[in-house]
A = this chain, B = another copy of it.
Amino acid sequence: MREREVLRFLAQRVPNAGDDCAVIPLGRTHLVLTTDMLWRQADLPEGVTAYTIGWRAVAVSFSDVAAMGAKPLGVVLALGAPGFERDFLDQLLQGVLDCCQSVGAPYLGGDLSQHEELTLVSSALGEAKDPVRRSGAKPGELVCVTGQLGRTAAALRLFEQKEYEQANRLFRFVPRAAEGLALAPYATSMIDISDGLARSLYQLGESSRAGFRVRYRDLPVLSETEELAQSERELREMALFTGEDFELLFTLSPSLLREAENAAPFTVIGEVIKEGVWLEDGEKTVHLEDRGYEH
């Protein structure tokens, strides 16, 4: 089975699958819990530093917590490494701690074991009175995105070019924890972009039983990405499909736009429609392909 099929198969066995985190009711509130696995070979390009590895390992989980509109409570990290060199561990842990500080949540410890390939699994916990699901988008609402697209695509290109310093900087994205919390009262649905904008639109659409019309000219693309793309075609690929942007994609009622804009910065990129995912591209409106980054 391919990854997506397997996930669908597994989802049938889990009661509330399909959101960025699992949701657990507790008293008058809800806990959210997520787990993410990173491997050296698949997820960490040549030139990535121990500090960046640590940062990113926990950032991906905090991003899932943010996508639920939840307050991050902390993170644990399971680490498998071929050896335990003090410098490497020290820098990795510093990355973990600094990323935790960037979202204001503690690092809570973890597990450690020796293993051939570097493997990191972070599990982050959060709390939200009313977690934002993927399922609330309704036709007529606006679809919006925080920050800028193409960040990881640009970083990967820079790693290839051995521009390691800039590559590492871009690879260490700051999880949208504050934005997730600030937008939670307005967002009707939310997801973090971990498999590309296109795939994330489809995921939001599937859960909400809705579609989207997005304007290419309104997509906020990172300036580094625009500079690095060698053609217009490649730029589109990087902005729409490469994935792992870890920005928040969400929907809201047009009547709340002004209020939401005061809560956090974001860009309106299109509208929720009844079905299908469409891209307004100059004078044409084309069907956006359902493909993205498979881990």
Q: Which residues of A contact B (CB under 8 A)?
A: 1-3, 5-7, 9-11, 13-17, 22, 24, 26-27, 29, 31, 33-37, 39, 42, 73-74, 76-80, 84-86, 89, 93, 97, 106-117, 119, 121, 123, 125, 127, 295
Contacts and interface: CB of A to CB of B under 8 A. Distances in A.
A36 B1 contact: no
Contacts of A34: 76
A112 B26 contact: no
Contacts of A78: 35-37, 121, 123
Nearest to A13: B93
Contacts of A15: 106
B109 A14 contact: yes
Contact of A115 (B10, B13, B31, B39): B39
A193 to B, nearest CB: 16
Nearest to A94: B13
A29 B26 CA distance: 10
Nearest to A109: B14
The 3 closest A-B pairs by CB, nearest first: A22-B108, A123-B123, A121-B121
A11 B110 CA distance: 9
Nearest to A27: B27
A76 B33 contact: yes
A41 B6 CA distance: 24
A92 to B, nearest CB: 10
